[in-house]
Chains A and B, each alone.
Chain A
Amino acid sequence: MVDVDAFKTEIAPPRKIHPKVEEMKTTGKLFLTNKLALVGFTITSFYFILAILDAIYPQYLGVANDSTYLSWVPGGTPTTIQPSQLLSPSLTPAGGWMFILGTTFYNMPIFPAMLAALKFDLGYSLAIVMIGGGIGVVIGVISGYMGGIVDEVMMRVTDIFFSVPFLVLAIAFLFVFGHVLSSVVYALIIIWWPIYARLTRGQALSTKAMNYVESARAAGSSKLRNIFVHVLPNVLSPVYVQFSLDLGTIVLIFSTLDFLGIVNGNPNVPELGSLIVAQGNGLSWLIAGYWWPAIIPGIFLLIFTISINLMGDGLRDVLDPKLRR
């Protein structure tokens, strides 16, 4: 036994829960102390819950088949209407609570349409961030860790993708795959992963130089194991932040494209942007004093983007290793 007397001073009491859980708890606590982040988090989760609920129980919120707006059109057949025929928002709507936020084109209730659009937008956004982020992180980590020629080649490829202007690609895809939203999704995946690749590569480069990676190699850890067990967990914090911010950004991009009418394939596909323009009538209606078809979905989108940004900033604060010990 070695100098036992010398080491008996303790640091903290024995633990009852696993330290990793405790670590998460402290991170959570720290996150919750930031008021703005908390607000952002709450609202964002509310949106997600709405979208999920709508996905699971569409029958309560609208109509079972909601892959187009048409399912909410009263009577089932779309008829172009005058703005004066629109129902305005009211707390005691005539047609039932679905009409609480009024109606928009085809005299369709805004509330369920917004939910369907949200589900749609969030779903695509998640898919893009997860696929793009996944590809990007893996490529970035490998590239950063391996270095040398692998890095060179991978980063050149990344640069090429990075330099493709999004709109050009999106338009090209719209031509190739047709005027549907999924074309934009493909384009976005292709545009998005290089961001993550660069982010993680930089982190991986600095992590790789740490001695613990070296001692893992001395312990027989293979390259692959090193990359995924030692380097990856240490580069993820900024990725999480980017992830959360991008969720919002992508929804915004969708809506913008739809708003501008670039994805002009089928205006009946639920999407927040198309809801705002209300089949191109939105703004003219707005000027004429019929504000709700444009303003309500607009505010809905605005709140979402702001809150997800607040959340991302909060995350950055807690996940930044410089701010913690």
Chain B
Amino acid sequence: MFLTPNLGGKRLAEINKENIQVRVRVDNLRTRFFTSKGIVKAIDNLSLNLLEGETYGIVGESGSGKSVTATSIMDLIPDPPGRITRGSIFIDGFNILSGYDKHVRIIAKSETNVKFRRRKRLIRKHNYIISGIRGKKIAMVFQEPFLSLNPVLTIGEQIEEAILLHSRVSIANSIIRRETMARKDVEKFVEGILAQPDISTRKKMINRWVNEFGVPDIERSLNDLFENSTDDSFITEEAFALAEAEKTGINLDQIYTARGYFDLLDRLHETNLQLIEAEATGNEEAVQRFRDEEHELKSALFKEYFSYSIQRRFLKRVYEKPFKDVARRRAIELLDLVNIAGSERVLDSYPHELSGGMQQRSMIAMALSSNPRILIADEPTTSLDVTTQAQILELFKDISRESNMSILFITHDLAVVAEMCNRVGVMYGGNLVEEGTVSSMFKDAKHPYTTGLMNSIPRAERRFDKSQRLESIPGTVPNLITPPSGCRFHPRCKFKMDICSEKKPKLVEIEQGHKVACFLYSDEIEEEIPDDFYVVPKNEETEEKLFNEAEGVTQ
């Protein structure tokens, strides 16, 4: 693993002191899909917090909105037909939805007659901002590996592209460090390691150092060296010789130019984030400062752009090769990390030449390629066997422990939840209906839907008769174009009361850290806020007509 320090997150988070522990905060999220059959109310007033270093599981039946929640957080909802219409999503304290409602105006005359007014310039700017956040801080493993991989590119090309997209500066730095390495760098490193008595910490330090200095091939030898000797001058001598042998003597000028260019790009993005934040808080002075900074960076970039991109165009092979080489080696490392055997072959294979499990693990490798601080994993282990699944889960746990990565883990498999997660949220029909720590959920599930889910798990401890059938919750997930009124679970609920079909229960904390939305446990009612994009009809007659239209289409 190569773990480069995260630069952006800290500063932004500090501005918003309150959120320092919360990696992702979703507030009153509402996502809609405007389809030809009506408006799908896929997510309704969903709030959740993903804390630093925790693994939060989301479970629920198919169609309950798990993937939509995930893609909303990534801001990857396909638009059209989808749109986040309300709420805020803070990633490391930065609201990625700030100004979101200004981008598109939605005018819905009826369920099927919806008009959009887009402001393309704002959307383009927004996409640029988000794509930077997406690469550096947050990454996602998509649910359908086969459909998310590009069928006409090899796995290697795809992973390398992902790596190059986000880590050019760090690659350039490591190449420069390697080529300009002096004896005193090695001395300092050896001193540092020898001062550290703990073996596993040492290993990590060595790992970090070799990646920082672009010499991963000698990691093993260094480990051996430190294991078997304490003589620092001897070690320095050996280590320096090893590192010296790694130098390739490439022309550093190109690397400097490339680094300068991509570094500027990164800094510009950073400044943009700060600017948006300052604008949101209304701090005039900061806004002015960041504006100036942005302007400066832009003009610097303009100059760099010509010198760099023209050179690169004509000397593409020369310019790209050192980067490609590093990217390829990292890709191999990543595939090894996710336990794919024969990584070289896999890199040169097309997706359809791989087994389902290999495709899925390639997706995981791609998501991990940018060392994200937040990982959204949408059913990442469905096509893995149990031993490999255990290894991958172990890998997730390791990374989460080492670099404090937060994971939003979406799955059907309650056994995996039991093993993996700290907290669990149960989703039904676009709402979070229960949330709690794993142990309280499994020991003491409250919501009737959760208990139903728990009962339909096939358990290996039990012997099954051929005639015996599995329990399943009767009925299906509601159609979200016309979701049931009140509690969305009421048509299938065994404990349904009169109030259930009229009012919507609120998600309330009934025990320490355990929240449930059900009238069996509390009387609190959630105010239903109507969507604000419906045009108010002119008179009662049209209203009636519109209503009928909506009903007629969807019933």
Residues on A facing B (Cβ under 8 Å)? 3, 5-13, 26, 29-30, 33, 202, 205-206, 209, 322-325
**Which residues of A lie under 8 Å from residue B33 when comparing CB positions?**
325
Contacts of B152 in A (CB 8 A): 202, 205-206
> In the complex, are the beta carbons of A6 and B474 less than 8 A apart?
yes
Alpha-carbon distance between A32 and B477 when the two chains are bound, in angstroms: 34
The answer on a CB contact under 8 Å between A9 and B36 is no
14 A–B contacts from the bound complex (CB under 8 Å)? A5-B475, A7-B476, A9-B475, A9-B476, A11-B479, A13-B552, A29-B36, A205-B151, A206-B150, A209-B151, A209-B350, A322-B78, A324-B81, A325-B35
**Contact between chains at A206 and B151 (CB < 8 Å):** yes
- Give the distance to chain A from B119, nearest Cβ to Cβ, in Å: 16
Q: Does B472 contact A (CB under 8 A)?
A: yes
Chain B nearest CB: distance from A143 CB in Å?
13
Out of A9, A29, A33, name the residue touching B478 (CB < 8 Å). Answer: A9
Within 8 A of A (CB), among B154-174: none
CB distance from B80 to the nearest CB of A (A): 6
Q: Could you say which of B350, B479, B552 contacts A9, with CB atoms under 8 Å apart? A: B479
CB-defined contacts of B554 to chain A, threshold 8 Å:
12-13
Chain A to chain B: the 6 pairs with minimum beta-carbon distance, closest first: A206-B151, A209-B352, A9-B476, A26-B36, A209-B151, A205-B152
B468 at the interface (CB under 8 A from A): no
For chain B, residues 514 to 555, give those with C-beta under 8 angstroms from any C-beta of chain A: 552-555
Nearest CB in chain A to that of B554: its residue: A12
Shortest beta-carbon distance from A152 to chain B in Å: 16
Q: Which residue of B lies closest to A205 (CB)?
A: B152
Q: Mark B469-509, 1 if CB is under 8 A from A, else 0.
A: 00010111111000000000000000000000000000000
State the Cβ distance, B242 to closest chain A Cβ, in Å. 44
- B329 interfacial contact with A, CB 8 Å: no
Q: In the assembled complex, which residues on chain A have CB atoms less than 8 Å from the CB atom of B479?
A: 9-11
Instruction: Determine the chain A residues whose CB is within 8 A of the CB of B151 once the complex forms.
Output: 205-206, 209
Report Cα–Cα, A187/B476, bound state, in Å. 60
Contact assessment for B35 and A13 in the assembled complex, using a CB-CB cutoff below 8 Å: no
**Are B80 and A323 in touch, CB under 8 angstroms?**
yes
- Which residues from B are CB-within-8-Å of A26? 36
Question: How far apart are the CA atoms of A286 and B415 in the complex, in Å?
Answer: 82
**B430 touches A (CB below 8 Å):** no
Question: How many chain B residues touch A (Cβ–Cβ < 8 Å)?
Answer: 26
* Residues in B lying within 8 Å of A, measured CB to CB: 33, 35-37, 78, 80-81, 115, 146, 150-152, 350-352, 472, 474-479, 552-555
- Report B-chain residues with C-beta under 8 Å of the C-beta of A8: 475
Residues A12 and B37 in contact, CB atoms below 8 Å apart: yes
Note all chain B residues with C-beta closer than 8 A to A33. 115
B472 touches A325 (CB 8 A): no
Residues of chain B within 8 A of A3, CB atoms compared:
472
**Distance of A154 from chain B, by nearest CB (Å):** 16
Q: Report A-chain residues with C-beta under 8 Å of the C-beta of B472.
A: 3, 6
Beyond contacts A30-B36, A325-B33: 11 other A-B pairs, Cβ-Cβ < 8 A, are A6-B475, A9-B475, A9-B476, A10-B479, A12-B553, A13-B552, A13-B555, A26-B36, A206-B152, A209-B352, A322-B78
Chain B residues whose CB sits within 8 angstroms of the CB of A5 once the complex forms: 474-475
The A interface is mostly helix, strand or loop, or mixed, namely helix
Chain B residue with the shortest CB-CB distance to A323 = B80
Residues of chain A contacted by B351 (CB below 8 angstroms) = 209
Closest A residue, CB atoms, query B36: A26
Q: Does A6 contact B476, Cβ atoms closer than 8 Å?
A: yes
Report B-chain residues with C-beta under 8 Å of the C-beta of A202: 152
Give complex CA distance A30, B150 in Å.
Answer: 27
Q: In the bound complex, how far is the Cα of B152 from the Cα of A196, in angstroms?
A: 17
CA distance A5 to B352 in the complex (A): 38
A320 to chain B, nearest CB (A): 11
Query: Chain A contacts of B352 at CB under 8 A?
Result: 209
A26→B113 CA distance, assembly (Å): 12
User: Which A residue's beta carbon lies closest to that of B353?
Assistant: A209
Within the complex, what minimum Cβ distance (angstroms) separates A2 from chain B?
Answer: 10
> In the complex, what residue of chain B is closest to A25 when comparing beta carbons?
B36
Please give me the residue from chain B that is nearest to A23 by CB atom.
B36
> Closest chain B residue to A201 by CB distance?
B152
- CA A11 to CA B352, docked complex, whole Å: 33
Name the A residues within 8 Å of B478 (CB-CB). Answer: 9
User: What residues of chain A lie closer than 8 Å to B146, measured between beta carbons?
Assistant: 209
CB distance from B496 to the nearest CB of A (A): 16
Residues in B neighbouring A11, C-beta threshold 8 A: 479
Chain A: minimal CB distance from B118 (Å): 11
Question: How far is A265 from B477 in the complex, measured between Cα atoms in Å?
Answer: 71
Q: Which residue of the partner chain B has the closest CB to A211? A: B146
Q: Shortest distance in angstroms between A123's beta carbon and chain B's nearest beta carbon?
A: 36
Among B476, B477, B478, max chain A CB count under 10 A is at B476
User: Shortest beta-carbon distance, A184 to chain B, in Å?
Assistant: 34
List, in ascending order, chain B residues with CB within 8 A of A324's CB. Answer: 81
Q: Name the B residues within 8 Å of A6 (CB-CB).
A: 472, 474-476
Bound CA–CA A318/B146 (angstroms): 24
Q: Which residues of chain B are within 8 angstroms of A322 by Cβ–Cβ distance? A: 78
Please report the C-alpha to C-alpha distance between residue A156 and residue B37 in the assembled complex, in whole angstroms.
46
Interfacial chain B residues near A29, Cβ < 8 Å? 36
List chain A residues, Cβ under 8 A from B150. 206
Nearest B residue to A6, CB-CB:
B474
Q: Which residues of A contact B35 (CB under 8 A)?
A: 325
Residue from A8, A29, A30, A206 whose CB has the most chain B CB atoms within 10 Å: A206
Residues of B within 8 A of A13 (CB): 552-555
Q: Chain A contacts of B552 at CB under 8 A?
A: 13
Give the residue name and chain of the B residue nearest to A26 (CB): B36
Q: Tell me, rounded to whole Å, the shortest Cβ–Cβ distance linking A14 to chain B.
A: 11
**How far apart are the CA atoms of A272 and B80 in the complex, in Å?**
40
Q: Give the complex CA separation of A322 and B479 in angstroms.
A: 23
Cα separation A11 to B34 with both chains bound (whole Å): 16
Contact of B78 among A30, A205, A209, A323 (CB under 8 A): A323
Q: Which residues does chain B contribute within 8 Å of A205, judged by CB atoms?
A: 151-152
Please give me the residue from chain A that is nearest to B477 by CB atom.
A9
A22 nearest CB neighbor, chain B only? B36
Contacts of A30 in B (CB 8 A): 36
Q: Which of B115, B151, B351, B475 has the most CB of A within 10 A?
A: B151
Q: Which residues of B contact A323 (CB under 8 A)?
A: 78, 80
Q: What residue in chain B is nearest A11 (Cβ atoms)?
A: B479
**Distance to closest chain A CB from B309 (angstroms):** 27
Q: Which residues of chain A are near B37, meaning CB under 8 Å?
A: 12
Measured in the bound complex, the distance between the Cα atoms of B151 and A112 in whole Å is 52
Measured CA separation A128–B180 after assembly (Å) = 60
Q: How far is the CB of A292 from chain B (nearest CB, A)?
A: 38
Docked Cα-Cα span, A12 to B553, in Å, equals 7
Cα distance A12–B351 when bound, in Å?
Answer: 36
- With a cutoff of 8 Å between Cβ atoms, the chain A residues found around residue B477 in the complex are 9
